[in-house]
Amino acid sequence: MNNIARKLPAVLPDGLADALRAAVGPKGWSDDPQVLAPQLKDWTGYYTGTTPLMVMPASTAEVSAVVRACAEAGVGIVPQSGNTGLVGAQLPHGQVLLSLKRMNKVRGVDALDYTMTAEAGCVLADLQKAAQDADRFFPLSLGAEGSCMIGGNLSTNAGGINVLRYGNTRELVLGLEVVMPDGRVWDGLRRLRKDNTGYALKHLFVGAEGTLGIITAATLRLFPRPVEQATAFAAIRDLDAAVELLSILRAGSGDAISSYELIPRMGIELGLEYGTGMSDPLAAEYDWHVLIEFTGTVADGTARAKLEAALGEALEKGVVVDATIAASTDQSLKLWRIREAMVEYQYRAGASIKHDISVPVSRVPEFIRRADRALEAMVPGIRPLAFGHVGDGNVHYNLTQPKDMTREAYLALSEDIHRAVYDTVAALDGSFSAEHGVGAVKRDELKRYRPPIEVELMRRLKQALDPQGLMNPGKVL
Ligand X SMILES: Cc1cc2nc3c(=O)[nH]c(=O)nc-3n(C[C@H](O)[C@H](O)[C@H](O)COP(=O)(O)OP(=O)(O)OC[C@H]3O[C@@H](n4cnc5c(N)ncnc54)[C@H](O)[C@@H]3O)c2cc1C
The contact set with ligand X (CB under 6 A) reads 43, 78-86, 89-90, 100, 120, 142-144, 148-149, 151-153, 155-156, 158-160, 209-210, 214-215, 435-436, 472, 475
Nearer to ligand X, 286 or 347 (CB): 347
What is the amino acid identity at position 60? T
- Which C-beta is closer to ligand X: that of 149 or that of 172? 149
Using the CB atoms, write b or e for 402-441: b if 16+ within 10 Å.
beebeeeebeebeeebbebbbbbbbebebbbbbbbbbbbb
Nearest Cα residue to 459 out of 442, 476, 445: 476
* Closer Cβ to ligand X, 31 or 261, answer by number: 261
CA distances from 144 to 85, 140, 147, 340 (A): 9, 11, 6, 11
Q: Give the number of other CB atoms < 10 A from CB of residue 2.
A: 13
- Minimum CB distance to ligand X smaller for 226 or for 388: 388
**Alpha carbons 294 and 101: distance in angstroms, whole number:** 34
Q: How far apart are CA 313 and CA 322, in angstroms?
A: 12
Least Å distance, CB 181 to ligand X, is 11
Residue 72 identity (one-letter amino acid): E
Q: What is the largest CA-CA distance in the chain?
A: 75
Q: How many helices, marked H, and strands, marked E, lie in the chain?
A: 16, 19
Min separation Cβ 333 and ligand X, Å:
17
Q: Which is closer to ligand X, CB of 150 or CB of 319?
A: 150
The least CB distance from residue 268 to ligand X, in Å, is 19
Nearest distance from C-beta of residue 140 to ligand X, angstroms: 9
Closer Cβ to ligand X, 69 or 103, answer by number: 103
Minimum CB separation of residue 182 from ligand X in Å reads: 15
What string of DSSP letters covers 200-241?
-THHHHTTSTTSS-EEEEEEEE-EEPP-EEEEEEEEESSHHH
Amino acid at 130: A
On whether the CB atoms of residues 176 and 154 are closer than 8 A, the answer is yes
Nearer to ligand X, 169 or 401 (CB): 169
Q: Work out how close the CB of 246 gets to ligand X at its nearest, in angstroms, rounded to a whole number.
A: 18
Q: How far is the CB of 318 from ligand X (least distance, A)?
A: 31
3-state helix, strand, coil in the chain (%, to 5): 40, 20, 40
Q: Closest CB to ligand X among 311 and 359?
A: 359
CB 229 within 8 Å of CB 134: no
Identify which of residues 155 and 431 has a Cβ nearer to ligand X in the complex: 155
DSSP state of 181: T
Q: How far is the CB of 127 from ligand X (least distance, A)?
A: 12
- Output the smallest distance, CB 211 to ligand X, in A: 7
- By beta carbon distance, the residue nearest ligand X is 152
